[in-house]
Amino acid sequence: MPQMSDIPAGECLLCGGTLTGVHCLGHWSEYGGGGGFWFSALCQTCDIDFRLSIRNGIFATWRPDAPEASELTSIVGEDGLAALTAKFKRYATFGPKWQSFLNRRRDGDEVWRFASANGLHNGFAIVRCGLPVSGFRVLGFISAGVLP
């Protein structure tokens, strides 16, 4: 596992502040012996989680724990959000997660649907000033039954 002192300090893409609370989220292994680690950190000013991956010893860069802008498909209006909230309330797992996802919005933030490029996830993203800053992910194979 990489030493904490090796982890590059992260800077928030929105406010330029220093990310805090860096910790290891876990690791993965790949066929052929490769693998890597995930680290997480927070911009307290913006309330945005960031992730950093280290694959086979190579550090990626800190980026928001959110879908890519290219994965966004359509914006969700207030009516759509109300309908989703009513739907997710019926699920013990999705209801509270959805509520805490929505609670991270700030004035002017938008909610968009997204579909991941690898087809594994669908869901929703909070978009601030054109940048996805938070994600609500649903595994592709469940989303057909859950997402309206």
**Shortest separation between residue 10's beta carbon and Zn ion, angstroms:** 10
Nearest distance in Å: CB 114, Zn ion: 21
Structure tokens at 26: 């876990």
Question: Residue 45, interface with Zn ion (CB under 5 A)?
Answer: yes
Distance CA 75, CA 89 (A): 21
* Strand stretches in 11-130, DSSP E: 20-29, 35-43, 48-55, 58-59, 63-64, 72-76, 110-115, 121-128
Span near Zn ion by CB under 5 A; candidates 1-9, 16-24, 64-72, 125-133: 16-24
Among 41, 42, 43, 102, which residue interacts with Zn ion (rule: CB under 5 A)?
43
Of 27 and 106, nearer to Zn ion (C-beta) is: 106
Fill in the per-residue mask, 49 to 88: x = in contact with Zn ion (CB under 5 A), - = not in contact: ----------------------------------------
Query: Closest by alpha carbon to 37, among 18, 49, 47, 22?
Result: 22
Q: Give 10 or 36: the residue with its C-beta nearer to Zn ion.
A: 10
Judged by CB under 5 A, the stretch of 17-25, 26-34, 96-104, 120-128 that binds Zn ion is: 17-25
146 token code pair? 């859950």
In angstroms, the Cα distances linking 141 to 61, 136, 144 are 30, 15, 6
Residues, the chain, total?
A: 148
- Write out the residues near Zn ion by the rule CB under 5 A: 12, 14-15, 17, 43, 45-46
